Structure 1
Amino acid sequence: MLSFIRKHNSSDSDDSSDSDENTSEADGYGSDHDEIIAMSLSDWEEEDENGWEEEEGNLDETDIHTTIEAERMRLSLPSNLKRVHIQADLYAILQKQEATMREGQINDALRKLRLTLGAKAWMLRNKVRNARGGKGRTRAWDSVKTKEQEVQRHVQIYLQARAALQRMGMGAEWRPITKQDLAMPGDLVEPNRFGQRSSSLPWFWRIEDGGVLDEIQESPEINESSILSVYRVNWLRLKARVARWTEEKKIVAHEMVWIVKSFKYFREQWADRVRKAGVEEPGLQAFAEKQIDLWDTFAKNAEEMFQWAKTTSKEERWRKKGPEVAMITVS
């Protein structure tokens, strides 16, 4: 490997010379200035015949004779290989090392994604809105488009690293990134909008790694983009949501009792009307008895449902009634 690097460096330095003879003597690769150190795909045909399978399907006949630059060769990482191609113990070691590398790649991509989105928000807030004239607006939007290209690049890096982990049976905790996740926070673009009580930031803004706020404060542009204030607003919003659910959890058991009692109350009201109507009003008596049966059915169904909620596990409630019922703990 060292000899290969020395030859490669010597060939790069000799290519700038005007003498073909000096180039040939220095690197031993011939006299062509434009010759690139490469490896032919046909050199691997012998290994393919011994059990190696191509990852992307069969190569065309024209692709077999093409060359790949050494600097652009694809590394044979465990996520790109099959278990039959390598010993089990060695595969486990390499798989663990690649998983660590992919985790770092994911964290770096998410960090750069947050920083780039913050810089994009800063440009929208300061450059685009304050631009004057056609040229000024064009330049401002060109800057925003450049940041958008950076955002897409970081997303692709994240998705590729996540796919590599999934091919190794790992990375289940990392979610996909959608177009909705890349939208600018509404608190920054339109802070006084309606219906923001239940809105929240995308998941990669809420990673509990302790470094999200630090990286925002390190960047002057992002700090000026009011992202920090968006975090504060979302924290207060989530705090209020937790308070609402805590209150709901406390009163839901009492509401179950109140509902059953209210149904029984209406049943007794109609029973009293039946007694007062007597036999002189048979039509009114029949309607009242129908209402008695209706409210009695409501009361019995409510008691059965509430008893089922109290005695059924959270998983079973989730499966039959949905997440709303499963989230409520009844005592």
Structure 2
Amino acid sequence: TWISTGLAIEEAQIALLIEVRRIGRRSTETQRLDIARQRDRLQGQIDGFARSALTHLGEGFDADDEPEDLDVDILDDLDDDPADFIETSHTWTNSPELTVIPLPSNLGVDRCRRCMAEDLIPLEMSLREGQANDALHNLRIYLCNKAILFRTTVRQANSQALKTRAWSQVTSVQQAVSLHASIYTKTRKQMMRLEPGQDQLQKYKPLLREQLKISTAVGDPNA
């Protein structure tokens, strides 16, 4: 559906934001070219989505009205402030990863009603619930994988080469943790804009960074 396409675009935006943050300003030419290709592909998807918005939202919708930057909290278990990555990387205000696409949750309930698109609100809410459930499921899997890596691969690495390889695996898993945690947080934020019911408020609670940390005993070889 049109809304599910929008949710997929939003996830691609979050993934690209995390990638841009990861490589920072000290990126190689190959990395910069890869980011440029991803941005071109993402921009094409956003343009197509915005054009099709007229079909679903009617003539009362203006695709160029009130442009703003995407509001995303990048979550990981690091101690630095994840909100600082925009100032320390090659992301600027008109980057496609920061473009807000015209989903009902971005337009707001009142505006959807004015556009005679109120029927899209429960549809997006239903899809958002599925998106949140998927993100939480994936998050649990990768946190378990991270704990297992510490118990086995990291703890048993008895040479510098093995330690380097082990921590590379941990970093890869941590990037997946950050992605799915950020997707869940963004999804929940959008759900709150769709006038959720009490059951949804109880079920989908804020995700805290402390919840992304595995037990320190897991990573302590003397524990």
TM-score, scaled relative to structure 1:
0.36
> 1:183 maps to which residue?
213
Q: CA–CA distance in 1 between the matches of 2:96 and 2:186?
A: 21
2:66 to 53, 62, 72: 53
Contact 1:113 1:151 survives alignment (8 Å): yes
Structure-to-structure mapping, 1:1-331, within 5 angstroms: 52-56=65-69, 75-87=101-113, 90-170=116-196, 171-173=200-202, 174-185=204-215
Change (3 A) 1:179 1:82: closer
Contact 1:159 1:176 survives alignment (8 Å): yes
Q: Which amino acid aligns with 1:128?
A: V
User: Comparing both chains, which one has the higher relative contact order based on Cα–Cα distances under 8 Å and sequence gaps of 6 or more?
Assistant: 2
Report the secondary structure of 2:212's partner residue. Answer: coil
Shift of 1:175: 1.7
Q: CA–CA distance in 1 between the matches of 2:138 and 2:208?
A: 17
Change (3 A) 1:150 1:48: same
Report the secondary structure of 2:209's partner residue. Answer: coil
Q: CA–CA distance in 2 between the matches of 1:50 and 1:134?
A: 54
Q: Which amino acid aligns with 1:54?
A: P
Change (3 A) 1:141 1:179: same
Aligned residues: 145
Change (3 A) 1:49 1:109: closer
Q: CA–CA distance in 2 between the matches of 1:92 and 1:123?
A: 47
Q: CA–CA distance in 2 between the matches of 1:101 and 1:83?
A: 16
Shift of 1:52: 3.7
RMSD across aligned positions (CA): 4.2
Q: CA–CA distance in 1 between the matches of 2:150 and 2:210?
A: 18
Shift of 1:77: 1.4
Q: CA–CA distance in 1 between the matches of 2:214 and 2:149?
A: 12
Moved over 6 A (4+): 47-51, 66-69
What are structure 2's unaligned runs of at least 5 residues? 1-39, 52-59, 71-91
Report the secondary structure of 2:156's partner residue. Answer: coil
Report the secondary structure of 1:86's partner residue. Answer: helix
Q: Which amino acid aligns with 1:176?
A: P
What are structure 1's unaligned runs of at least 5 residues? 1-34, 58-62, 194-331
Q: CA–CA distance in 2 between the matches of 1:50 and 1:108?
A: 30
Cα deviation, 1:217-273, whole Å, max 9, x if unaligned, reads xxxxxxxxxxxxxxxxxxxxxxxxxxxxxxxxxxxxxxxxxxxxxxxxxxxxxxxxx
Contact 1:83 1:91 survives alignment (8 Å): no
Aligned-residue identity in percent:
29
Change (3 A) 1:120 1:54: same
Contact 2:128 2:191 survives alignment (8 Å): yes
Change (3 A) 1:152 1:82: same
